[in-house]
Amino acid sequence: MLRFLQTLDRRWIFLAMGLAVAVPILLQMRFPEKATPIAEKAFATINDLPDGSRVLLAFDFDPASEPELGPMATSLVRHCALRGYRMYFITLWPFGPQMIADKIREVIRADFPQLVEGEHWVNLGFQAGNEAVMQQAKSDFKRTFPRDDRGIAVGQIPMMAEIRTTRDFACLIAVSAGYPGGKEWVQYVVTPERGSAVPLRAVVGCTGVQTPQLFPYYPGQLDGLIGAIKGAAEYETLVNEFVEERSPGTTIPEKYQEAVRRMGPQLVAHVLMVSLIVLGNVIYFAGRRRGTVA
């Protein structure tokens, strides 16, 4: 038995992982999510902004990280739409425009048709230049994003009239999968504004790999941090509770329970990982005792 486990073909592990992910999806396993104080802080930061606040949404991610970041982007857009904020979408990633378009279609166009493009939300699209774009947006936002996604000059867009620099936004919401992303937004745009009379608030949603790198900025420079699909599930739960509180008896559509749904496979996969590590160590120490491994 020990010999079999020591030489176990890795395809068995692949099969186990495949089942660990597939079975919860097929059985639609869902587990209750309780929001941690960090998710509650992120929610409160956005929820407590004055009505009609201007919110800058930077979607710096691509299809590879969409399964992890998509649900939190959905919840964030939905929350802003529910609160009636004016949303300014931008991205510094070449695939970002598709991510923005997806969320606009999925949330704003589908469930908030009363919101008018150019008055309540605007898609300013992609801009190349990474940190230089952030730096320039800090001093001249309209020059950095001179046209919206449709090619209309920002001078003709009503909701752009009051925007001169990033200081004119009440909050920055960055959903990021890497470079440039949340960390750079904090370093180049948020931190220099922290000392001002009305500091720019900032909430970052990021992948699990990025979360440890962003913790040093919380809560000093960051007002909220939504880490990976777990953070997204907590945030989604808070937004759904907010909706139920406002309109009791509302049925929550499936698309707004996506993060909680994705936590099912994650739970089983994590338990499998822990079991594999334990099993690997049992085999290792048993082998050492018998002298079959170094």
Contacting residues toward another protein, per CB under 8 A: 8, 10, 13-14, 16-18, 21, 31-34, 36-38, 62-67, 94-95, 97-98, 100-101, 105, 127-130, 132-133, 135-136, 139-140, 143-144, 149-151, 208, 211-213, 215-216, 218, 227-228, 230, 263, 266-267, 269-274, 276-277, 279-281, 284
CB of 51 to another protein, least distance (A): 28
Contact 109, 81 (CB under 8 A): no
Q: For another protein, which is the closer residue by CB, 53 or 260?
A: 260
CB of 71 to another protein, least distance (A): 14
Q: For another protein, which is the closer residue by CB, 88 or 218?
A: 218
Contact 47, 79 (CB under 8 A): yes
**Beta strand 121-126 with 86-91: parallel, antiparallel or unpaired?**
parallel
Chain mean position to CA 68: 7
Q: For another protein, which is the closer residue by CB, 53 or 127?
A: 127
Q: For another protein, which is the closer residue by CB, 29 or 49?
A: 29
Q: For another protein, which is the closer residue by CB, 14 or 158?
A: 14
CB of 246 to another protein, least distance (A): 27
| Alpha helices (runs of H) in the chain, residue ranges in sequence order | 2-6, 10-26, 37-47, 66-83, 96-103, 110-111, 131-139, 141-144, 182-185, 191-193, 211-214, 228-246, 258-290
Q: For another protein, which is the closer residue by CB, 13 or 82?
A: 13
Nearest-angstrom CA–CA distance, 266 and 168: 39
Q: For another protein, which is the closer residue by CB, 196 or 251?
A: 196
Question: How many Cα atoms occupy the beta-carbon half-sphere of 179 within 13 Å?
Answer: 3
Nearest-angstrom CA–CA distance, 104 and 230: 23
CB of 216 to another protein, least distance (A): 5
Nearest-angstrom CA–CA distance, 54 and 170: 6
Residue 255: count of CB within 10 angstroms of its CB: 14
Q: What is the DSSP annotation of 6-36?
A: HT--HHHHHHHHHHHHHHHHHTT--------
CB of 243 to another protein, least distance (A): 22
Nearest-angstrom CA–CA distance, 188 and 190: 6
CB of 179 to another protein, least distance (A): 13
CB of 22 to another protein, least distance (A): 12
